[in-house]
Chains A and B, each alone.
Chain A
Amino acid sequence: MSNAQQTLSSIRWVGLRTILIREYGRIIRIWGQTLVPPAVTTTLYFVIFGSLVGRRIGEMGGFDYRAFIAPGLIMMAVITNSYGNVVSSFFGAKFGKHIEELLVSPLPSWVIILGYVGGGLMRGLMVGGVVTVVALIFAKLHVYHLGLIIAAVVLTSLVFSLAGLLNAIFAKNFDQVNWIPSFVLTPLTYFGGVFYSVSLLPGWAKQVSMANPILHMVNAFRYGFLGTSDVNVGVAFAIMIGCVAVLFAVAMVLLTRGTGIRD
């Protein structure tokens, strides 16, 4: 069938699948950079914070410390890898100019966004799976509500994939690709209740922490495992859905306008 006869919806569907296959191929091709480091880092966290330090801490929020930090560590890996996958893949394509392969194609902006965000989601979930396996070696994981676990991890991965895409659209060099992860993402993640319950914080610090969206994501995810949370889980999901909607809309506007990619 020639392109003139083919419907645009079928072109878009095949195009989206192609971007997803390409992104999957990239994750697998560079598995030493994508899948192995999170496993090593998580093992170190469990050995140092879980076993060595954790033994002295005892319980956190009524649970064994290793079981308490496991959801946070999984979420931390999902956030970092979803963001990192899209920012490096999209910026790499911009830098190497092969983003033009997509820009000259008949694929609209929303398909390109879904393709890259789908790549971030794939990596987030794959790394989440790897880290979960590592966590199971060190901690006994309860499952309180599987549906909430899946919903929280998928939404969080989507939020940070979209955020990574925005970073890549604006970035003009490799420094700008690293700024946000180093100076925004890492501090927010560490202060996002991965290693501690915010109930331990003084009042003002607790209030400040509530403005951190990662705290809500980590707690919603932890609620799926342990059935306990420092935040209102409904509010946490509303924040995640709101972030996805806003970031997607912004990405659509920027990509359609050609910000950072078209003259």
Chain B
Amino acid sequence: MQESCADWRGIMACGYNGRMHALSVQNLTKTYRNGVQALKGIDLAVEEGDFFAMLGPNGAGKTTLIGIVTSLVNKSGGAVSVLGYDIDRDLDRAKSLIGIVPQEINFNMFESPETIVVNQAGFYGVERSVARVRAEKYLKQLQLWDKRKGMARALSGGMKRRLMIARALMHEPRLLILDEPTAGVDIEIRRSMWDFLRQINQQGTTIILTTHYLEEAENLCRNIAIIDGGRIIESDRMSNLLRRLHTESFVLTLRNPLAFAPTLDGYPLKRIDDHTLEVEVSKEQNLNDIFARLSAQGVEVLSMRNKVNRLEEMFMRLVENRQA
């Protein structure tokens, strides 16, 4: 039975604003047979319609968490509900609302892309006539339509990843979980996948994304949880998290060569080579001031970029703090 926000059983399944949680996880634990404790009491809530990032180093427990939600891994303790359906009581109904793009390729390499997606729709109760129409829609959107008839093993790595996205969308899930969907995909295809996922999210599908490309999470996601050692070590809005970053490092490319780094009071400045400077800027300082003072010293800046992705810097600090 689906929990409702107006119902006492539904309290954990809903957010403070009365909206249903797409995913609600309480005190989730998992200990594997070999004794490895992969999850040590995870609490997590993802609002319906959100684009949610789940980050963490390798072995942090992300894939175990996703495995439990999709029933590929049996949990040791705790509770999980998907759009109000508890996986202990209404597993089949909960699973009917989830689309999953796993980390590893897991379709039959000897079947055609069209057969793979049409069959997958069938496993979710979509009639074949409807599935064929959807297959055309999603295979075209993901630029796989021309490849629909050949064997899936002949597809390139990027195409295989896109096929898994098409497959996950065939039953039009309300919650789409993507476990490193762009791993090993070239930048052009990655960007087109980002546009596609944004579009899907704007149409109302809640998306949970795990990725090692932090630029991807920063670009796409509104909320974020960082998981490490089987625990959530941070969960916040992306903007709030990035605001907590006190300093940022920028790399400046200069028009003319410099023999030594100029001195700017209050700004640690480092000369990398004769055309490159690196400067550290805190939240209280501003870039206009740096440009004005460099210009006054006759230093002309051609371009500027972040030394490290902001989320990457925050991520590293949180993980390192925890390890310390």
Contacts and interface: CB of A to CB of B under 8 A. Distances in A.
B236 interface: no
A102 B125 contact: no
A206 interface: no
A154 B271 CA distance: 82
Nearest to B69: A104
Interface residues of A, number: 33
Interface stretch (A5-13, A181-189, A219-227): A5-13
A100 B72 contact: yes
A194 to B, nearest CB: 34
B72 A3 contact: no
B95 interface: yes
B127 A104 contact: no
Contacts of B91: 106
Nearest to B38: A263
B122 A104 contact: no
Contacts of B120: 101, 105
B119 to A, nearest CB: 5
Contacts of A210: none
A104 B172 contact: no
A12 B83 CA distance: 21
A14 interface: yes
Interface stretch (B107-115, B181-189, B259-267): B107-115
B125 A14 contact: yes
B72 A18 contact: no
Q: How large is the interface on B (under 10, 10 to 19, 20 to 34, 35 or more residues)?
A: 35 or more
B92 interface: yes
A104 B100 contact: yes
Nearest to A4: B97
Contact of A104 (B98, B126, B174): B98
B56 interface: no
A103 interface: yes
Among B73, B74, B105, B108, residue most surrounded by chain A Cβ atoms (within 10 Å): B108
A2 B96 CA distance: 10
A106 B122 CA distance: 11
A135 to B, nearest CB: 33
Contacts of B127: 14
Interface in B185-209: none
B73 A106 contact: no
A234 interface: no
A25 B172 contact: no
Interface in A92-114: 93, 96-98, 100-108
A99 to B, nearest CB: 8
Nearest to B30: A263
Contacts of A263: 32, 64, 67, 72-74
A145 interface: no
Contacts of A19: 123
B74 A93 contact: no
B49 interface: no
Contacts of B93: 8, 106
A14 B91 CA distance: 18
B173 interface: yes
Contacts of A55: none
Contacts of A12: 125
A172 interface: no
B17 interface: no
Contacts of B321: none
A36 to B, nearest CB: 19
Given A17-B122, A22-B119, A97-B104, A104 B72 contact: yes
B71 interface: yes
B256 to A, nearest CB: 57
A15 interface: yes
B239 to A, nearest CB: 32
A3 B32 CA distance: 33
A241 B295 CA distance: 91
Interface of B: 32, 64, 67, 70-74, 83, 91-93, 95-98, 100, 102, 104-109, 115, 119-120, 122-128, 167, 171-174
9 A-B pairs with least C-beta separation? A18-B122, A11-B125, A105-B123, A106-B96, A97-B106, A106-B92, A3-B96, A106-B95, A14-B125
Given A4-B97, A106-B123, A106-B125, 14 more contacts: A3-B96, A3-B124, A3-B125, A3-B173, A15-B123, A21-B122, A93-B108, A97-B106, A103-B71, A103-B72, A104-B95, A106-B96, A262-B71, A263-B72
